[in-house]
């Protein structure tokens, strides 16, 4: 049998292709956190001011009396906490009809949010905006918070709190930028497709435990093993190993087979 | 054996000239220039030497670097120093041995083109005949053919021998028997919130509320008595929706399985048994994170997407005399994935 004659490989094209594949890194958009003070108590003037803002900015979708229309749900009885969550995270007002309202820069000042919340709260009883003491996690049980998080939150928001996909283009958002107030408000009111977790089923101190777990354990979590690839699990890990890992193997194969001069 | 036209392998008898001549052979620079060869030798030795250093470095790092030291590594984030160094030294140690070996083979090992001769694979006819004759002799001398009782008892003994291996499989545990068809839910079992153990009243749940729940009796079952199995089968989710939103339920004619819009469903996916709580309260749909099976809880837990073959089993619920939510009975069908005997 003839020995295999070593053919000269034109590896340049392959190398360029692989370099491009490997360079396809994942970029992370860091959104800055904006903590804010507790809104003061609502007064009659705030309700009036809120009503004015509502008619200007919200009534198109939610109806002139906040009764809801085909384009938006009714807001009677959703409570001040719901308004505070939706508007301070910039999810409302919606910039365009979409399956889900994304987090964006808030469109209203804190005073305007307070007024809007006061107006919607005046329409019907609902969850109030949590006070600073409601948000205190000093006495919260971190271990219990972890267990509750894994039982109630991790399914959608992912074990690392990085969020995850739902059906039809909807998603559970990442919790990395969420403030304790937003977390408690979201649990109380169930924004968009999230179910709600009222204090009757998940008491406030349990919510505080979950908040403590998220803020202390997840939001500043180190990645002991190195590149966490977004903590999304098999999708990003698979993409990485199929491009960077197999790419490296291909490069090695090209080098081993290359003609020696 | 020279009739090989039409194949790309040339088979040469000993001493023949090859049918397909080789292209001219060019020597490598390391074959002609001793300086280049020396350089290649140094490269290979350096790789092997570095590998040894990395191995020593691994041992040193393992002993010296505390596991609670973290460093910030630019875009990668905050990384445990010990893991980083251990991984790098160990990985480089094996990689450098491999790279050195390949470099050695490519640059320094003999670079001659050799014609490998290929012979017929079968043994020569006389060897085959001799082996067969030897076997026949052995057969005759052993008396395997004539002594029928010896032969038959041997065959019988060998046939029975594997039976103990099958009998000891019994120790793999009892058959599941009926346990797959039942959970610990029974008439009057109180529904409590998972983890916290709080019993629930209907007014605790608002429209759109989701509760991961379990039977109150679960805590009374000890670990060794199968607490985890009981939990795995009995886990449920409670959701509340407007009664007008409920299109259908699994309850037979004349029965009410919800309580004023509060519905209880198994938490275990009917596909391969992942626990599900991805409840999208606007659509009343339950999405399994494993394979995207989607169940419409407003429509009797019907499968609306994905690989699940059966609807999500519904637990009939009501309230007891003290106003707490309880089960009306066990599930009316096995929960979780399909199994053989289920048919």
pLDDT of residue B47: 97
User: For residue B290, what is the nearest residue in chain A, using CA coordinates?
Assistant: A155
Question: What DSSP designation does A88 have?
Answer: H
Can you give the CATH number for the domain in which A162 is found?
1.10.760.10
Instruction: Convert the pLDDT of each residue in B294-319 to its tens digit.
Output: 999 999 999 999 999 999 999 999 99
Dihedral Cα B276, B279, B280, B286, nearest 10 deg: 50
pLDDT of residue A71: 86
d(CA A215, CA B59): 37
pLDDT of residue B15: 52
pLDDT of residue A25: 38
How distant, in Å, are the alpha carbons of A196, A203, B202, B281 from that of B207?
8, 17, 11, 9
User: For residue A192, what is the nearest residue in chain B, using CA coordinates?
Assistant: B282
**Is residue A44 in a domain?**
no
Instruction: Tell me the mean pLDDT in the region A14-22.
Output: 50
Contact B47, B103 (CB under 8 A): yes
Instruction: Tell me the mean pLDDT in the region B117-130.
Output: 90
Residue with more model confidence, A72 or A87: A87
Pairwise CB contact (< 8 Å): B193 & A156:
no
Is the pLDDT score of A14 beyond 60?
no
Question: What DSSP designation does A230 have?
Answer: G
Single pTM value for the model: 0.75
**Is residue A88 in a domain?**
no
Which residue range(s) make up the domain with A196?
132-221
**Is residue A138 in a domain?**
yes
Pairwise CB contact (< 8 Å): B289 & A190:
no
CA distance B115 to chain A (A): 5
Give me A102's structure tokens.
């994304």
pLDDT of residue A261: 77
Contact A156, A168 (CB under 8 A): no
B115–chain A Cβ distance below 8 A for any pair: yes
- Does the complex come out with an ipTM higher than 0.95? no
Instruction: Tell me the mean pLDDT in the region A191-203.
Output: 93
Burial zone of A203 (CB within 10 Å; 0-12 exposed, 13-18 middle, 19+ buried): middle
Which residues are CB-neighbours of A213 under 8 A, at least 6 positions away?
A: A142, A145, A146, A148, A149
- Provide, as residue numbers in chain A, all residues whose Cβ is less than 8 Å from the Cβ of B87: 226
pLDDT of residue A9: 55
d(CA A68, CA A113): 20
- Provide, as residue numbers in chain B, all residues whose Cβ is less than 8 Å from the Cβ of A193: 280-283
d(CA B260, CA A29): 45
Please identify among residues 159-188 of chain B the ones whose CB lies closer than 8 Å to any CB of chain A.
Answer: none
B305–chain A Cβ distance below 8 A for any pair: yes
Pairwise CB contact (< 8 Å): A224 & B79:
yes
- Provide, as residue numbers in chain A, all residues whose Cβ is less than 8 Å from the Cβ of B28: 260-261
Is the pLDDT score of A29 beyond 60?
no
**Is residue A169 in a domain?**
yes
pLDDT of residue A229: 86
CA distance A19 to chain B (A): 19
Band (pLDDT 50/70/90 cuts) for residue A8 is very low
Instruction: Tell me the mean pLDDT in the region A22-35.
Output: 36
Q: Could you give the percent of chain B with pLDDT greater than 70?
A: 94
Degrees to nearest 5, angle at CA A111 with A108 and A117: 80
Give me B166's structure tokens.
């099958």
- Provide, as residue numbers in chain A, all residues whose Cβ is less than 8 Å from the Cβ of B212: 151-152
Instruction: Convert the pLDDT of each residue in A93-106 to its tens digit.
Output: 988 888 889 999 99
Instruction: Convert the pLDDT of each residue in B103-123 to its tens digit.
Output: 999 999 988 878 788 888 888
Give me A75's structure tokens.
């807001």
Low-confidence winner among A3-17, A165-179, B272-286 (lowest mean pLDDT): A3-17
Is the pLDDT score of A192 beyond 60?
yes
Q: What's the farthest any 2 CA atoms get from each other in chain B?
A: 103
Pairwise CB contact (< 8 Å): B84 & A226:
yes
Q: Residue written as tokens 């350089």?
A: B39
**Is residue A24 in a domain?**
no
Is the pLDDT score of B23 beyond 90?
no
CB nearest B281 (choices: A155, A195, A256): A195
Contact B42, B50 (CB under 8 A): no
Band (pLDDT 50/70/90 cuts) for residue A11 is low
Pairwise CB contact (< 8 Å): A261 & B29:
yes
d(CA B233, CA B182): 8
- Residue B71: asked if its preceding bond is cis (omega within 30°), the reply is no
Instruction: Convert the pLDDT of each residue in B169-199 to its tens digit.
Output: 888 877 777 888 899 999 999 999 998 999 9
Instruction: Convert the pLDDT of each residue in B224-276 to its tens digit.
Output: 888 898 999 999 999 999 999 999 999 998 899 999 999 999 999 999 999 99
d(CA B91, CA B55): 9
pLDDT of residue B115: 79
Band (pLDDT 50/70/90 cuts) for residue A233 is confident
B302–chain A Cβ distance below 8 A for any pair: no
**Is residue A187 in a domain?**
yes
Low-confidence winner among A20-29, A213-222, B71-80, B120-129 (lowest mean pLDDT): A20-29
User: Chain-wide mean pLDDT for chain A?
Assistant: 84
Degrees to nearest 5, angle at CA B60 with B55 and B65: 130
d(CA B68, CA B101): 37
CA A55: distance to chain centroid?
29
Is the pLDDT score of A21 beyond 80?
no
**Is residue A188 in a domain?**
yes
pLDDT of residue A75: 92
pLDDT of residue A58: 92
Band (pLDDT 50/70/90 cuts) for residue B293 is very high
pLDDT of residue A10: 58
What share of residues in chain B are helix, strand, coil (percent, to 5)?
40, 15, 45
CA distance B278 to chain A (A): 6
Which residues are CB-neighbours of B261 under 8 A, at least 6 positions away?
A: B207, B240, B241, B242, B243, B245, B246
- Provide, as residue numbers in chain A, all residues whose Cβ is less than 8 Å from the Cβ of B107: 260
Which residues are CB-neighbours of A187 under 8 A, at least 6 positions away?
A: A196, A197, A202, A207, A210
Band (pLDDT 50/70/90 cuts) for residue A260 is confident
In chain B the domains, ranked by start, together with CATH numbers, are 1-119 (no CATH), 184-342 (2.102.10.10)
Give me A38's structure tokens.
């507790």
- Provide, as residue numbers in chain A, all residues whose Cβ is less than 8 Å from the Cβ of B23: 5
Q: How many domains does chain A have?
A: 1
Pairwise CB contact (< 8 Å): A198 & B83:
no
């Amino acid at each position: 049998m003839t020995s295999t004659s070593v053919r000269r490989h034109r590896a340049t094209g392959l190398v360029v292709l692989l370099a491009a594949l490997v360079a396809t890194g994942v970029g992370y958009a860091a959104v800055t956190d904006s903590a804010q003070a507790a809104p003061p108590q609502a007064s009659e003037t705030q309700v009036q001011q809120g009503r004015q803002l509502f008619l200007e900015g919200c009534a198109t979708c939610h109806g002139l009396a906040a009764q809801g229309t085909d384009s938006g749900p009714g807001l009677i009885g959703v409570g001040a906490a719901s308004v505070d969550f939706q508007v301070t995270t910039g999810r409302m007002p919606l910039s365009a009809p979409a399956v889900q309202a994304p987090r964006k820069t808030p469109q209203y000042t804190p005073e305007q949010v307070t007024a809007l919340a006061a107006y919607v709260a005046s329409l019907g009883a609902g969850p109030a905006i949590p006070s600073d003491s409601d948000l205190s996690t000093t006495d919260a049980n971190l271990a219990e918070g972890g267990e509750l998080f894994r039982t109630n939150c991790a399914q959608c928001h992912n074990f690392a709190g990085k969020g995850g996909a739902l059906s039809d283009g909807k998603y559970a958002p990442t919790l990395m930028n969420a403030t304790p107030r937003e977390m408690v408000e979201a649990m109380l009111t169930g924004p968009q497709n999230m179910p709600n977790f009222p204090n009757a089923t998940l008491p406030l101190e349990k919510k505080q435990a979950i908040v403590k777990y998220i803020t202390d354990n997840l939001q500043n979590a180190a990645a002991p093993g190195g590149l966490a690839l977004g903590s999304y699990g098999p999708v990003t890990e698979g993409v990485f190993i199929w491009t960077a890992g197999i790419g490296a193997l291909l490069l090695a194969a090209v080098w081993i087979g290359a003609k020696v001069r | 054996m020279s009739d090989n036209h039409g194949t790309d392998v040339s088979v040469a008898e000993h001493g023949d000239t090859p049918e397909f001549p080789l292209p001219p052979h060019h020597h490598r620079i390391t074959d002609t220039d001793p300086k280049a060869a020396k350089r290649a030798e140094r490269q290979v030795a350096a790789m092997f030497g570095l590998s040894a250093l990395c191995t020593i470095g691994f041992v040193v790092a393992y002993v010296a670097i505390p596991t609670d030291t973290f460093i910030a590594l630019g875009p990668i984030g905050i990384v445990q120093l010990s893991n980083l160094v251990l991984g790098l030294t160990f990985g480089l140690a094996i990689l450098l041995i491999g790279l050195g070996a390949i470099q050695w083979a490519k640059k320094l090992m003999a670079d001659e083109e050799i014609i490998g001769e290929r012979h017929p694979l079968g043994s020569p006819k006389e060897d085959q005949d001799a082996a067969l004759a030897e076997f026949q002799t052995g057969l005759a001398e052993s008396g395997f053919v004539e002594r029928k009782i010896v032969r038959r008892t041997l065959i019988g003994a060998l046939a029975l021998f594997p039976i103990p291996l099958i009998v000891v499989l019994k120790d793999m545990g009892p058959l599941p028997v009926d346990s797959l068809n039942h959970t610990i839910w029974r008439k009057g079992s109180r529904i409590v919130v998972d983890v916290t153990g709080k019993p629930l009243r209907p007014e605790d749940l608002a429209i759109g509320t989701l509760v991961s729940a379990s039977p109150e009796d679960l805590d009374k079952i000890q670990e060794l008595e199968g607490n985890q199995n009981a939990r795995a089968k009995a886990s449920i989710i409670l959701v509340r929706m407007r009664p007008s939103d409920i299109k259908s339920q699994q309850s037979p004619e004349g029965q009410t399985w919800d309580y004023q819009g509060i519905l209880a469903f198994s938490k275990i996916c009917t596909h391969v048994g992942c626990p599900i709580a991805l409840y999208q309260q606007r659509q009343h749909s339950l999405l399994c994170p494993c394979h995207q099976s989607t169940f419409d809880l407003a429509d009797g837990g019907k499968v609306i997407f994905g690989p699940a073959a059966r609807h999500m089993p519904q637990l009939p619920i009501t309230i007891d005399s003290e106003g707490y939510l309880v089960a009306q009975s066990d599930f009316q069908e096995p929960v979780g994935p399909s199994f053989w005997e289920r048919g």
